[in-house]
Every structure is written in C-alpha cells, then in structure tokens.
Amino acid sequence: MYKRILLPTDGSEASRRAILSGVDFARSVGAEVVGMTATRPFHTLTTDVEMLEQTPESYEVASKARGQRLLDEVAAAARDAGVPCSCVQSVSDDPYDAIIGAARDRGCDLIVMASHGYRGIKGMLLGSETQKVLVHSAIPVLVHR
C-alpha cells in the first residue's frame, strides 16, 4: 500500500484537520509522513500585508519561524500517533509546484491535503492550491474536507 505520505500545511483549520486524518491514515497502513510547508518569497510589489509591513530580511525570518511552527504541529501529531515523520520547508512563488516537487523528491506515494485553506476573497484571488495539485500531480492526492 502506501509507504510515505506528504502532508502539506498552510496553518488553516482545514489543513490541521487534514493533517490529523493523514497521520491516522498513515498509522493504519504503516506509512511514514512528511510534513511540508511552502512560503512565498519576498516581493517588493505585492498585495500581501505580511510583505508590505516587513523588510526582506524580517519577512524571511518571520516566514521561516512560522513554517517551523507549522511543521512542529505536524511532527507532534505524528509523534503522538507513533508515526515516523520528517519535515521540509520550501520557498516558492507556486506552492502547488513546491508540494508536487517535495512529494516527488521525498519519494512520497500519496499526498493528503485539505480541500481548501484560505476562504473568501483571499482564496479566490490566490486560487486553490489543492486544485492545482490535483491537476498537475502524477502522485495520487487524497483531499480531506
């Protein structure tokens, strides 16, 4: 069955629920998990409030720290369930591409992710990373609602 499952997270509640389900599924099939988060790089011209309020250096530090907190949540869920876990943090303008790349590079045979992260206008403007992963991934994707 599945040996290594990628669990991407953006910190949303939907993503947290998907991680818990992904860890439970991994435990039931004897798989390990790979926690993953992707951060967009700093851009001078942006509509992202976090970037507008920071310098490139402070944004990078804050992004890495936030990413590590999210990965610590994945690692804790896996540890509590007795599931082996490793983690990867990426920087990419296209999180869906980073997700697919991480799954490929880490030898994952399944990606488990939330059906959506951001809601409302932000979600509409950014588009659905899950939808993009579904369209472009050769690796099976299990979408959690």
Name the residue ranges covered by the structural domains of the chain: 4-144
Contact 39, 89 (CB under 8 A): yes
pLDDT of residue 111: 98
pLDDT of residue 58: 84
pLDDT of residue 112: 98
Choosing among 3.40.50.11540, 3.30.470.10, 3.40.50.620, 2.40.50.140, the CATH entry for 4-144 is: 3.40.50.620
- Which contacts (CB < 8 Å, 24+ apart) does range 124-131 have? 125/47, 129/10, 129/95, 129/96, 129/99, 130/96
pLDDT of residue 91: 95
Across the chain, which has 145 residues, the per-10-residue mean pLDDT values are 97 94 98 96 66 74 94 99 98 95 98 78 63 95 93
